[in-house]
Amino acid sequence: MGKYDTATLRNVGIVAHGGAGKTSLVEAMLFNTGMTDRLGKVDDGSSNMDFEPEEIKRKITISSSLHHCSWKDHSLHLVDTPGYSNFLHGTRNGLRILGGGVLIVSAISGVKAQTQKIWQWAQEYEVPLIAFVNKMDRERADFLRAVDDMEKMLDCRGVLVNMPIGSEANFRGIIDLVNMKARIFQFDEKGTYCEEEIPAEYLDEAKRLRVLLLEAVADADDSLMEKYLEQEDLSKEEILHGLREGTLTGVFTPVLCGSATANIGVRQLLDCIVYCLPSPIDKGTQIGTRPGTDEIVERQPSEDGPFSAMVFKTINDPFTGKLTLFRVYSGTLNSDSTVLNATKDEVERVGQLYQMEGKKQVPIDKAVAGDIVAVAKMKVTATGDTLCSANDPVQFESIMQLKPVISFALKACSKSDEDKIHTGLQRLIEEDPTLQISRDEQTHDLILSGMGQVHIEVAVEKLKRKYGVDVELQAPKVPYRETIKGRARLQNKYKKQSGGRGQYGDVWIEVEPLPAGGGYEFVDKIVGGVIPRQYIPAVSKGIEEAMQKGTLGGYPVVDVKVTLFDGSHHSVDSSEMAFKIAGSMGFKRAMEQCKPVLLEPIMQMEVIVPDECIGDVIGDINSRRGKVMGVEPQAASQAITAQVPMAEVLRYAPELRSMTSDRGLFTLEFSHYEEVPSHLTAKILSERNEQD
């Protein structure tokens, strides 16, 4: 990293819901810091960060991409993260290793559900954020409404560092509330501005907001509070100190504004990143354990300590091989050295180190604590693994992957595709662990599971582009569930005698429903030893196995409580197997008496469509048994939020493309289960029987 040390590093993620302008902001940062000589744009495919063909085609960020720049003697590692729900796993992985972040809040649409998730993850990983209200030059932009939405939806305290001069077509600059100066921009995409006195019509509002700024920074530091109460003012240095303290401690979130595509407000944001967000040293000690033990191990963010790092991303390329990206937590790593993969207890060879610049890799000699770097052709290392010094090993808690919510059956288009499909899929899973491959034991279908339909479609496109494997997506199987609405008490006695030692198990159970999401609860009320203690777990195990296939359509059973309250045993013939069978058979009999019902998965759906298509799309959602939860205006489009049964939107993509002339975009994520309407249950069960 040359002249930079750990104290001047900033690892910064740019985060928000899809379409808020994350990639455009990163492009503006790179341009303003001299890393690029033109302002890359998403719309024309010239972005440095969205370079995969699937990203260019859809004009969205699909996987996190990295770049770096320098600003005021600081080195910034920038991570452009996905915002659409199908790809948020990449954002979560990135937050695991970041120091701070910039949360983009759209001046048009405010805070979306995806932004709320990202905020929660940032809190979980203790990643302080700066907010940037983007798109102030767009139609329907409203700065204060966006800030209010952020405070309400994220339950945070926003502190304005600047304010806009005008909005929509009249947006022409920002007012710096720290220096109390106005910056009037020329809209030349170069970020050119003139610093002037604050226009008279904005002066009173600027003074009011500055008072709120001073009160907030005083709250963050006791010494500043004393001075503010005495003098009712603070110096620029004191304000900046208070902003930093408040950000790092989570007392408040600094809020700035501007337009990424017009390159307005970006330089002040860069200033705020440098003086508000933490260096690796500010983040402090990283806690891990000694591999194979519970011994706590601490790693200080020092260049002189033992080397340790966390792998957060893997890139597979059929030509250059596997590229492993990791964040260094402590020590120094040189090219052409060896490290220990503590997660797999394997020694790995580290060849040439690289710093990522979008799709390019720039060779570097070494990496120090805080750096984010890449290395090629590691053999066993995967996302979530810990790399460390073999002489002083440590293992960090691995990255928890989100669970897939939708599945498709894959059919190879030819014999050659069938031969290559498993190798290609394994390479994709190395890049994206949220993809899962399984084989349906009943149908023998190869099942690809992911975070949504777009996620699966992108994986299939990559499979063909990268590995030459052409497959067809077939209708996925809806993961129905069964539950009960009534209760039953019964005895089930399993008795078998065929010469010699027999089998005897006798149980009395009560089966009743639990609230939605209750899962399975087993209650042991056996007293007096009527069933020996060693056989009671076998009863529960038999019930759990019976729950894997319900009595309606053979779907898994959820949300039931089973109480074992009586029974009997035989001193010779009783066994764990006998009581397991008795419990299983008893549960199946009881369920038939408990008014079993079918449950279907309900998906949270967001559809972004042109204004002129909204009526058709809402009508179509209603016809799919969907519930429209809200409609939010965006620039020349509308964002529809709805809850729709999964069975009704398995093939939604082509229908939406048809309705919107290929201008609509939607995302799906699992929400909850609901009871299937009675008039549809018979049809679903009939189709299930035909498949069997």
Q: Which pLDDT score, from 0 to 100, does residue 40 have? A: 84
Tens digit of pLDDT for each residue in 22-66?
A: 999 999 999 999 999 888 888 777 888 888 888 888 888 888 999
Mean pLDDT across 671-678: 92
Mean pLDDT across 474-485: 85
Q: Which pLDDT score, from 0 to 100, does residue 662 have? A: 62
Mean pLDDT across 202-228: 92
pLDDT, mean over the chain: 90
pLDDT at 325 over 60: yes
Separation between Cα atoms, residue 506 and residue 567, nearest integer Å: 5
pLDDT at 632 over 50: yes
pLDDT at 477 over 80: no
Q: Please, which pLDDT band fits residue 633 given cuts at 50, 70 and 90?
A: confident
CB count within 10 Å of CB 419 equals 11
Contact predicate 462/455, CB 8 Å? no
Q: Which pLDDT score, from 0 to 100, does residue 443 have? A: 56
Please indicate whether residue 381 or residue 231 has the higher confidence score (pLDDT).
381
Q: Which pLDDT score, from 0 to 100, does residue 441 have? A: 62
- At residue 464, the 3 state secondary structure works out as helix
Share of the chain above pLDDT 90, in %: 62
Please indicate whether residue 130 or residue 6 has the higher confidence score (pLDDT).
130
Separation between Cα atoms, residue 615 and residue 622, nearest integer Å: 11
- Give the sheet arrangement for strand 129-134, strand by strand: 65-71, 74-80, 9-15, 100-106, 129-134, 253-257, 158-160
Strand partners for 491: 508
Q: Please, which pLDDT band fits residue 444 given cuts at 50, 70 and 90?
A: low
Q: Which pLDDT score, from 0 to 100, does residue 278 have? A: 95
Q: Please, which pLDDT band fits residue 1 given cuts at 50, 70 and 90?
A: very low
pLDDT at 636 over 80: no
pLDDT at 71 over 80: yes
CA torsion angle for 466, 471, 474, 477 (degrees, to 10)? Answer: -60
pLDDT at 341 over 50: yes
pLDDT at 635 over 80: no
Q: Give the rounded distance of the alpha carbon of 408 from its chain centre.
A: 21
Contact predicate 643/668, CB 8 Å? no
Contact predicate 521/514, CB 8 Å? yes
pLDDT at 4 over 50: yes
Question: Which of 219-228, 367-376, 504-513, 628-637 has the lowest average pLDDT?
Answer: 628-637
Q: Please, which pLDDT band fits residue 692 given cuts at 50, 70 and 90?
A: low
Separation between Cα atoms, residue 555 and residue 598, nearest integer Å: 9
Q: Please, which pLDDT band fits residue 2 given cuts at 50, 70 and 90?
A: very low
Mean pLDDT across 392-397: 94
Q: Based on the number of CB atoms within 10 Å of its own CB, is 683 exposed (0-12), middle (13-18) or buried (19 or more)?
A: exposed
Ranked by mean pLDDT, which of 134-143, 231-240, 653-662 comes out on top?
Answer: 134-143
Tell me the CA distances in angstroms from 38 to 261, 262, 268, one per residue in order. Answer: 12, 13, 19
Q: Which pLDDT score, from 0 to 100, does residue 156 have? A: 93
pLDDT at 442 over 60: no
Mean pLDDT across 455-475: 89
Q: Which pLDDT score, from 0 to 100, does residue 211 have? A: 93
Separation between Cα atoms, residue 442 and residue 146, nearest integer Å: 51
Mean pLDDT across 313-318: 85
Share of the chain above pLDDT 70, in %: 97
Ranked by mean pLDDT, which of 54-58, 269-273, 401-405, 494-498 comes out on top?
Answer: 269-273
- At residue 466, the 3 state secondary structure works out as helix
φ and ψ of 548, to 5 deg = -70, -25
